[in-house]
Chain A
Amino acid sequence: QKEVEQDPGPLSVPEGAIVSLNCTYSNSAFQYFMWYRQYSRKGPELLMYTYSSGNKEDGRFTAQVDKSSKYISLFIRDSQPSDSATYLCAPLGTSYDKVIFGPGTSLSVIP
């Protein structure tokens, strides 16, 4: 079993839709959970991170962590064409701050 798994997509939604991106992980020791956005042929950029279980909101983005089921979600409200990118979930391990990156989910928001 891979440490971090994501549905690769592609996920295609109309502009204005609510998007749900999901990620599962296997290591119960993970404490921090990051979401990165990566545009084609660019470096990833950090969207937000959460600590332990719970929700965190930042503008149109909400990150949700359920440690009991090892399940991470990122919700995007009022999606825009500029949100079209690959989204990487990335839990943080406990040894030497090693981040484990998921393979990413490709999102396309259609105008």
Chain B
Amino acid sequence: DGGITQSPKYLFRKEGQNVTLSCEQNLNHDAMYWYRQDPGQGLRLIYYSQIVNDFQKGDIAEGYSVSREKKESFPLTVTSAQKNPTAFYLCASSPGGRGREQYFGPGTRLTVT
């Protein structure tokens, strides 16, 4: 089956620890995205990558880092510098640069205490 996988589904961390969220796709899509979703708010773009070894900051990149070493993978690291890391994190991909056809993974719910 083609699709996007995110792991784990739930993640718990202590404040001050860095944590890495996994995102893998086998759709052969060029572009990948990371969003954050908080209750009552729309999805907010953290980082995006249109090709391997290249990525750009989105609207709320502070406290996050990414890498894009392989076309299939786009991991997100939530660092201790992120002030409010508890949220639902969503990874998406799209063919080419067609941001209008974004396919989402199931999400990772991160709780930091």
Within 8 Å CB of B43, what residues of A? 44, 88, 101
Most buried by A among B40, B58, B94, B104: B104
Report whether over half of chain A's contact residues are helix, strand or loop; otherwise say mixed: loop
Chain A proximity mask over B71-110: 1 for CB below 8 Å, otherwise 0:
0000000000000000010101010011111111111010
Residues of B within 8 A of A41 (CB): 88, 107, 109
A46 contacts which chain B residues (CB < 8 A)? 101-103
Contacts A43-B90, A49-B100, A96-B56 given; indicate if A104 touches B105 (C-beta within 8 A). Answer: no
Number of interface residues of A (CB under 8 A): 23
Residue of A nearest to B41 (CB): A103
**CA distance in complex: A104, B101 (Å):** 18
Partner pick for B40 among A97, A100, A103, CB 8 A cutoff: A103
With an 8 Å Cβ cutoff, the count of chain B residues facing the other chain is 30
Once bound together, how far apart are the Cα atoms of A77 and B4, in whole Å? Answer: 30
Tell me whether B104 and A45 are in contact (CB under 8 A). yes
Give the Cβ gap from A73 to chain B, nearest Cβ, in Å: 18
By a CB distance below 8 angstroms, the chain A residues around B58 are 98
Please give, as numbers and ranges, the residues of chain A lying within 8 Å of B101 by CB-CB distance: 46, 49
A36 CA / B100 CA spacing, docked (Å): 11
In the complex the two chains form, is A97's CB within 8 Å of B31's CB? yes
Residue of B nearest to A100 (CB): B42
Contact of A92 with B100 in the complex, beta carbons under 8 Å: yes
B45 interfacial contact with A, CB 8 Å? yes
CB distance from A40 to the nearest CB of B (A): 11
Q: Do A92 and B104 form a contact, CB below 8 Å, given A44-B43, A103-B40?
A: no
Across chains A and B, which 3 residue pairs bring their CB atoms closest together, nearest first?
A97-B99, A43-B104, A101-B42
> Besides the contacts A41-B88, A97-B100, A99-B99, what 13 more A-B pairs have beta carbons closer than 8 Å?
A41-B107, A43-B106, A46-B102, A49-B100, A92-B99, A92-B100, A96-B97, A96-B99, A97-B97, A97-B99, A99-B100, A99-B102, A102-B42
Interface residues of A (CB under 8 A from B): 4, 8, 32, 34, 36, 41-46, 49, 88, 92, 96-104
